[in-house]
Amino acid sequence: MDMTRTFHPALGEAARAFLGREHLLLIDGHAAESDSGQRTEILDPATGEVIATAAEGSATDVDRAVDAARRAFAGLWSKTTPAARTRIMLRFAELIEAHADELAQLESINSGKPLPACRNVDVPGIAEMLRYMAGWATKIGGETPAVSLAGEWHAYTLREPVGVVAQIIPWNFPLNMAMWKIAPALAAGCTIVMKPSEQTPLTALRLGELALEAGVPPGVLNIVTGFGDPVGAALAAHPRVDKVAFTGSGETGRRILHAASGNLKRVSLELGGKSPVIVFPDANLEAAAAGVCSSIFFHAGQICAAGSRLYVHERAFDQVLDAIAKRANGMKLGHGLDAGTEMGPVISQRQLARVTGYISSGEIEGATLFAGGAADQERGFFVRPTVLTNVRPGMRVHDEEIFGPVLCAMKFSDDDDLDSIAAAANGTTYGLAASIWTSDLATAHRTARRLHAGIVNVNALSSPDAALPYGGYKQSGWGRERGFEAIELYTEVKAVAVNLNV
Ligand code: ADP
Ligand code: MG
C-alpha cells in the first residue's frame, strides 16, 4: 500500500487507520492469512482508485473456516443460553453505534453511497436489526400440539439451530446484507462463515472484529474474503455446511442451488427484482414522484427492490413524469463522501458498462430517452439518473433487472381495470416488491391482493423495518429475511412424541 496517499478529507482517523491496515480473513477469532497469500484490490467506485487490498481466499481457507464454525457450534455457542446470546448481541449493537462514523465512512467510500445515507440509515439500521433479532433469541420455542393418537401421549416441538451456515452477500448494501444474515443466525444459535463481495469486504471485516469485542466467541462468526469462485462456490458445495443463505443475482443463485444439492443443505435466496410502481390518478402525485425518484435513484438504483417499472394513469402521466425528470436532471452526482452528493457512482466499470448497455438497448428497441443517459464524469463509474418512456413488454429494459438508475415508465387508462393493471405489473419473472399510490383505501387493498410480490408498499416505496419479512415470489428468491421468518430460516423443527401408555 502506498502510505503517502491522500485520504478524502471526510474520512476520520479511525477509517483512515482501518484502510491502512492489512485485511486478512477472520477465522476462529483471529486474523488469518489466506493460503494463497494473494490480494484483491478494493476500489473507491467514485474515483476508480485502490483504497485497500484484502486477502484472496481459497477453498482450503473455506475448509479451515468451516472447521472453526463446526467446533464453535459443537462447543461454546450451543451451550450459551439464549439470554447470554441476547446480551452479546445488544453489546454488539452498542459497539456499532460507538463506531458509527467509522463504519459509515468505510461503507460510503467502498460502496459509493452518499455518506448521510450510510450514517443515518444503514448504520442505525443494522444496530436495530441486531436488537430486534436479539429479542427473538429468548423467544424461540416450540409448541405442544394436541395429538389424536391412541391412549395418552405428550407431544411437543423443538426449534433448534440449523448448525453451520454459509452466508454469501453482494456489494450493494455491504453492512445491511451482512447484518440481515448475521443477526438471525446468532439469535438462533448458529455459527457462520460469511463471504462478503470481493468488491466490498471492508465493513463486514470491521463488523467481525466488533462482534469479537462484543463477546461473540471465536469461531462463531468467520469471514472469508475472495471471489465467488472459489470461495462462494466452495461454501455452497461444502459437505459440512448445513445451510447457505445467498443474496445476489439469479444466475449465481442458480449456481448455488446446484452446488448445494450435494448434501441437500438448506438454501435461502434473495435475488433480483423488477418491481412495479402503480400511480393512480387520485394519488398525491408530488409525493409519488418523489418516492419513485428515491427508490430508483437512491444508491444509483442498485437495490434489489428498486421501483424500476412505473405505471401511471394517463391523466397523471405528464405531471408525474415531468416532476421525476426535474428531480433527475437536478440531482447532484458525486463522491459519496462529498457534502451535497445526492447520488454516487455504480460499483464498477463492469456495472457501468452493463447499465449504459441497457440504456442503449432500450433506445434501439424503441424506447424514448426522457431524462438522463450515459454519464459525463471523466473518472469513476457514474451513470446519470435515467428515465425511459414508450417502454413495452418484451424490451430488455422492461423484462430484465438493470440494477442501475434507470426507470421505465408506462401508461394505463380508464379502459384498464384493476385486473389488467395488476396483470401488467405482474408481467415479469420476478416478484420482489411493488408500490401502489392512491388515496382510495379500496383501490389500495384490492390492488395489493392482486400483486405477485413479497413486499407491497402503499403510498411508500420502501418499509425498512426489521419486523417486516423481506423476500420475493417467483424468481426473486426462496425464503424471507427479517421478521420471525428469518429465525425460521436458521432453525429446524423437531417433533417429539412421548407414549405415556408404557
Ligand atoms: P455480481 O456478479 O454483480 O457481483 P453475484 O450475484 O454474482 O453478483 O454476486 C453476489 C455474491 O455471490 C458475491 O459475494 C459473489 O462473490 C458471490 N458469487 C459469485 N459467483 C459465485 C458462485 N459461483 N458461487 C457462490 N458465490 C458466488
Ligand atoms: Mg457474478
Class of the 275-465 domain?
Answer: alpha beta
Identify which ligand lies nearest to the alpha carbon of 233.
1
Q: What's the rounded Cα separation, in Å, for the pair 387 and 371? A: 5
Residue showing cell 450451543: 78
Q: Which ligand is nearest to the CA of 255?
A: 1
| pLDDT over 70, % of the chain | 99
Residue 240 has pLDDT above 80, yes or no: yes
Question: Would you state the pLDDT for residue 277?
Answer: 98
The whole-number average pLDDT for the span 25-54 is 97
CA 170 to ligand 1 center in whole angstroms: 7
232 lines ligand 1 (CB under 6 A): yes
Instruction: Identify the band that residue 3 occupies on the pLDDT scale cut at 50, 70 and 90.
Output: low
Closest Cα to residue 404, out of 372, 433, 370? Answer: 372
pLDDT digits (tens, 9 = 90+) for 258-296: 999 999 999 999 999 999 999 999 999 999 999 999 999
User: How high is the pLDDT of residue 76?
Assistant: 86
What pLDDT is stored for residue 1 in this prediction?
A: 47
Least confidently predicted of 77-86, 201-210, 231-240: 77-86
Tell me the β-bridge partners of 333: 343
Query: Strand runs (DSSP E) across 345-416, as ranges?
Result: 368-374, 383-389, 406-412
- Residues involved in catalysis: 270
**Span from the CA of 271 to the centroid of ligand 2 (angstroms):** 12
Ordered alpha helix ranges (H), 42-112: 59-72, 78-79, 82-98, 100-111
Q: What percent of the chain has pLDDT over 90?
A: 97
pLDDT category of residue 6 using cuts at 50, 70 and 90: confident
Give kind and range of the element (H or E) at residue 487: helix 483-489
Q: Is the CB of 198 under 6 A from ligand 1?
A: yes
**More confident: 71 or 79:** 71
The arithmetic mean of pLDDT across residues 149-164, rounded, is 98
Instruction: Give me 317's grid cell.
Output: 402521466
Query: What's the pLDDT at 298?
Result: 87
Three-class SS of 284-328: CHHHHHHHHHHHHHHHHHCCCCCEEEEEEEHHHHHHHHHHHHHHH
Atom of ligand 1 nearest to the CA of 226: 16
Between CA 205 and CA 224 the distance in angstroms is 9
pLDDT at 249 over 70: yes
Please measure the distance between the N-terminal and C-terminal CA atoms of the chain and give it in whole angstroms: 72
CB atoms near residue 353 (< 10 Å): 12
Determine the pLDDT at residue 451.
98
Highest average pLDDT, of 77-81, 226-230, 370-374, comes from: 226-230
Cβ of 238 less than 6 Å from ligand 1: no
Give the ligand whose atoms come closest to the C-alpha of residue 245: 1
Q: Give the whole-angstrom CA distance, residue 453 versus residue 48.
A: 36
For ligand 1, atom 21, name the residue with the nearest CA. 228
Indicate whether 227 pLDDT > 60: yes
Q: Is the CB of 256 under 6 A from ligand 1?
A: yes
* Cβ-contact 97, 128 below 8 angstroms: no
Ligand nearest to the CA of 227: 1
- What is the structure's pLDDT at 4? 56
What's residue 378's pLDDT? 77
pLDDT at 376: 67
* Single-letter code of the amino acid located at 487: I
* Cα–Cα dist 422/450, whole Å: 6
CA 233–ligand 2 middle distance (angstroms): 11
Residue corresponding to grid cell 452518499: 114
Please give the CATH architecture assigned to the domain spanning 3-271+479-493. Answer: 3-Layer(aba) Sandwich (3.40)
Nearest ligand 1 atom to alpha carbon 251: 6
Helix (H, G, I), strand (E, B) or coil at 346: coil
Best residue for ligand 1 mutational test, from 110, 167, 168 (most atoms within 8 Å of Cβ):
168
Ligand 2 center–CA 292 separation, angstroms: 27
Distance 57 CA to ligand 1 centre (A): 14
- Listed by start position, the domains of the chain span 3-271+479-493, 275-465
CA of 113 relative to ligand 1 center, distance in Å? 20
SS3 181: helix
Lowest mean pLDDT among 72-81, 201-210, 455-464: 72-81
pLDDT averaged over every residue in the chain? 97
Task: Report strand pairing: 275-279 vs 491-499.
Answer: unpaired
Report the residue among 199, 252, 381 best suited for mutation to probe ligand 1: largest number of ligand atoms under 8 A from its CB. Answer: 252
By C-alpha distance, which of 458, 436, 457 is closest to 311? 436
Helix spans in 189-269 (H): 202-214, 233-237, 250-260
- pLDDT score of 379: 86
- Looking from the CA of residue 171, the nearest atom of ligand 1 is 4
CA atoms within 13 A on the CB side of 95: 18
Contacts of 258 (CB under 8 A, 6+ apart): none
pLDDT digits (tens, 9 = 90+) for 107-152: 999 999 999 999 999 999 999 999 999 999 999 999 999 999 999 9
What's the chain's length in residues?
A: 502
Residue 201, ligand 1, Cβ within 6 A: no
Q: How confident is the model at residue 377, as a pLDDT? A: 73
Asked if residue 66 lies in contact with residue 263, where contact means CB atoms within 8 angstroms, the answer is no
